[in-house]
């Protein structure tokens, strides 16, 4: 059997796309190979959100040069968000002759045809669509886990934050029909899936149009809250998560779901990006810090123990020390359970690329270190509150360092390690926390 390996860069949306690519390859008779240099087919699914992902991609691609020369029959495919930018396509054409197939985010569903053409013609094929069509349904998938799964509910973004390339690489917002989403969730539940993560660049603006299926609980345009309520009724699904939420679009009926739905996890990822109103305006985020804090207040009123995580960018063009102190002040007010922090990097093709008041690198790093120190201090305090608590944990697998230790996640998305037998993988079990650490918890099975 010929083999394949997929290297995925970036977000959960890319991970879900890679599951589809794997499903397609297995339908074509290929088997998984754990070593990408040894596989007969290597697919690199790229991300353009951060500069670091660009560098990692080209580093991995460079490692395939010699293996490709040793195995001329190998097929190297490159896809994903970076391929929606002409600058990267031109670079691949000029400097990476061992790449056989290039395609983008909008024609991923056409991969089997493109792959067969690349294999038959023995010449580089580049086919990248500039715009997206309605989301293709019924594509195969090889799920990474049998007990938890990603479910994409929409593609694209209409927000055009000035630092972000996503609207240019993923296109405008397109929502799946709610019946199709519900059908996928029901199929996953029937197969034993306990937890689902609903995915979209901005799930709060989901606007699926009912397909009119007989017996459907939907009609006309469906909002995200209504979709959540129907998914919550699916027997077998014990945990529902979603990401990512845009603060400007989170409605009161979505917030109310945290207090009323049985299976919606008491956890939300709510990117703030900055605490300065001046910086938020330049980012084109469409909210200010007061509005963001009012959302947090509503969330905690609806669900007092909700865990809130966020994204924060340090060093956006024009950010002053006063602006940065506003971000620190917001972090102290919200007291995030966790945060993904990033040093601003220029993204080619975005409005912020042309801003002339770029912040010096040494200033960015100094502010970044101060922010991370404050976030970690708060995390340590919040983790301490779990000491001696008994928490339900979805067991995900053995620890990477000790196969006698299991690792899993709480409803609030906190990582928990504890001694246990691998027969518990995929189950939700009660664990008493005996040691609360900043980034994870250690416990004992009850």
Could you identify the residue written with the tokens 């959100």?
A: 49
Claim to verify: residue 222 and residue 335 sit in the same structural domain: yes
Q: What is the pLDDT, as a whole number, of residue 48?
A: 87
238-288: per-residue pLDDT in tens? 999 999 999 999 999 999 999 999 999 999 999 999 999 999 999 999 999
User: Do the bridges between strand 441-445 and strand 428-436 make them parallel or antiparallel, or are there none, so unpaired?
Assistant: antiparallel
pTM: 0.94
Claim to verify: residue 411 and residue 369 sit in the same structural domain: no
Q: What is the pLDDT, as a whole number, of residue 26?
A: 97
Q: Which DSSP letter does residue 37 get?
A: T
pLDDT interval class at 115 (50, 70, 90): very high
In a domain? residue 134: no
Residues for the chain: how many in total? 446
Q: Which DSSP letter does residue 413 get?
A: -
Q: What is the pLDDT, as a whole number, of residue 50?
A: 82
Mean pLDDT within 308-331: 98
Give strand pairing partners of 308.
268
Claim to verify: residue 101 and residue 19 sit in the same structural domain: yes
Gap between the Cα atoms of 65 and 70, Å rounded: 9
180-218: per-residue pLDDT in tens? 999 999 999 999 999 999 999 999 999 999 999 999 999
Q: Of 21-35, 37-51, 223-237, 271-285, which range is least confident?
A: 37-51
In a domain? residue 97: yes
369-417: per-residue pLDDT in tens? 999 999 999 999 999 999 999 999 999 999 988 989 999 999 999 999 9
Q: What is the pLDDT, as a whole number, of residue 230?
A: 98
In a domain? residue 308: yes
pLDDT interval class at 67 (50, 70, 90): confident
Q: What is the CATH number of the domain that holds 428?
A: 2.40.50.140
Q: Of 127-136, 293-302, 342-351, which range is least confident?
A: 127-136
How high is the mean pLDDT of the chain? 95
Angle subtended at Cα 395 by Cα 393 and Cα 400, rounded to the nearest 5 degrees = 125
Residue 53 has pLDDT above 90, yes or no: no
Q: What are phi and psi of 221, to 5 degrees?
A: -85, 135
Range of the domain at 402: 390-445
Residue 132 has pLDDT above 80, yes or no: no
Give strand pairing partners of 205.
none
Claim to verify: residue 24 and residue 162 sit in the same structural domain: no
In a domain? residue 284: yes
Q: What is the pLDDT, as a whole number, of residue 164?
A: 94
Q: What is the pLDDT, as a whole number, of residue 304?
A: 97
In a domain? residue 297: yes
Claim to verify: residue 158 and residue 34 sit in the same structural domain: no
pLDDT interval class at 66 (50, 70, 90): confident
Claim to verify: residue 249 and residue 370 sit in the same structural domain: yes
Q: What is the CATH number of the domain that holds 195?
A: 3.80.30.20
In a domain? residue 143: no
Chain center to CA of 99: 26
pLDDT interval class at 68 (50, 70, 90): confident
Gap between the Cα atoms of 415 and 424, Å rounded: 16
Claim to verify: residue 302 and residue 166 sit in the same structural domain: yes
Claim to verify: residue 351 and residue 377 sit in the same structural domain: yes
Q: Residues 184, 187, 191, 194: is their CA dihedral positive or negative?
A: positive
Claim to verify: residue 115 and residue 232 sit in the same structural domain: no
Whether the CB-CB separation of 388 and 432 falls below 8 Å is answered with yes
Could you identify the residue written with the tokens 């709510």?
A: 270
Q: What are phi and psi of 445, to 5 degrees?
A: -65, 135
Gap between the Cα atoms of 312 and 374, Å rounded: 13
Per the structure, the count of domains in the chain is 3
In a domain? residue 407: yes
Helix ranges, 149-203 (H)? 166-170, 178-190
> Which tokens hold the place of 25?
């390859």
**Domain boundary pick from 127, 159, 183:** 127
Claim to verify: residue 109 and residue 256 sit in the same structural domain: no
Half-sphere exposure of 223 (CA within 13 A, CB side): 11
> Which tokens hold the place of 341?
């922090």
In a domain? residue 292: yes
Strand ranges of the sheet holding 307-314, from the earlier edge strand across to the other edge? 267-269, 307-314, 338-343
Gap between the Cα atoms of 88 and 77, Å rounded: 14
Q: What is the CATH number of the domain that holds 123?
A: 3.40.50.12160
Q: What is the pLDDT, as a whole number, of residue 122?
A: 77
9-29: per-residue pLDDT in tens? 988 999 999 999 999 999 999
Claim to verify: residue 366 and residue 411 sit in the same structural domain: no
| % the chain with pLDDT above 70 | 100
Claim to verify: residue 227 and residue 154 sit in the same structural domain: yes
In 166-226, DSSP assigns E strands to: 174-175, 195-199, 207-209, 221-223
């Amino acid at each position: 059997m010929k083999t394949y390996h997929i290297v995925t860069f970036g977000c959960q949306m890319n991970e879900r796309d890679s599951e589809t690519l794997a499903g397609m390859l297995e339908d074509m008779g290929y088997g998984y190979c754990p070593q990408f240099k040894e596989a007969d087919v290597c697919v690199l699914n790229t991300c353009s959100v951060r500069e670091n992902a660009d560098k990692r991609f080209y580093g991995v691609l460079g490692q395939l040069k010699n293996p490709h020369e040793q195995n001329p029959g190998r097929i190297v495919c490159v896809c994903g968000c970076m391929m929606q930018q002409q600058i990267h396509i031109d670079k691949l054409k000029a400097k990476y002759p061992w790449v056989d197939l290039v395609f983008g985010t909008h024609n991923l569903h056409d991969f089997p045809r493109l792959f067969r053409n690349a294999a038959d013609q023995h010449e580089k094929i580049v086919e990248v669509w500039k715009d997206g069509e309605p989301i293709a349904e019924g594509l195969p998938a090889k799920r990474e886990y049998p007990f938890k799964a990603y479910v994409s509910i929409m593609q694209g973004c209409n927000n055009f934050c000035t630092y972000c390339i996503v609207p240019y690489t993923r296109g405008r917002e397109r929502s799946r029909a709610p019946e199709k989403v519900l059908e996928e969730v029901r199929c996953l539940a029937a197969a034993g899936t306990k937890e689902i993560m609903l995915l979209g660049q901005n799930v709060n603006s989901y606007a699926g149009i009912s397909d009119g299926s007989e017996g459907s609980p939907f009609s006309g345009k469906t909002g995200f809250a209504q979709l959540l309520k129907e998914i919550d009724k699916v027997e077998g699904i014990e945990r529902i998560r979603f990401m990512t939420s845009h603060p400007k679009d989170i409605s009161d009926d979505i917030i109310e779901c945290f207090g009323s739905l049985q299976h919606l996890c008491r956890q939300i990822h709510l990117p703030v990006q900055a605490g300065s109103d001046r910086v938020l305006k330049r980012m084109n985020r469409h909210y200010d810090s007061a509005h963001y804090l009012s959302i947090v207040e509503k969330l905690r009123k609806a669900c007092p123990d909700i865990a809130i995580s966020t994204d924060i960018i340090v060093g956006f063009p024009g950010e002053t020390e006063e602006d940065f102190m506003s971000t620190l002040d917001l972090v102290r007010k919200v007291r995030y359970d966790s945060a993904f922090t990033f040093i601003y990097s220029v993204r080619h093709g975005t409005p912020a690329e042309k801003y002339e008041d770029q912040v010096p690198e040494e200033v960015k790093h100094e502010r970044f270190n101060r922010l991370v120190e404050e976030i970690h201090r708060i995390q340590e305090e919040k983790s301490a509150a779990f000491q001696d608590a008994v928490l339900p944990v979805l067991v995900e697998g053995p620890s990477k360092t000790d196969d006698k230790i299991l690792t899993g996640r709480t409803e609030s998305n906190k990582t928990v390690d504890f001694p246990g037998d691998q027969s518990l993988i995929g189950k939700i079990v009660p664990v008493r926390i005996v040691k609360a650490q900043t980034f994870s918890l250690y416990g004992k099975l009850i």
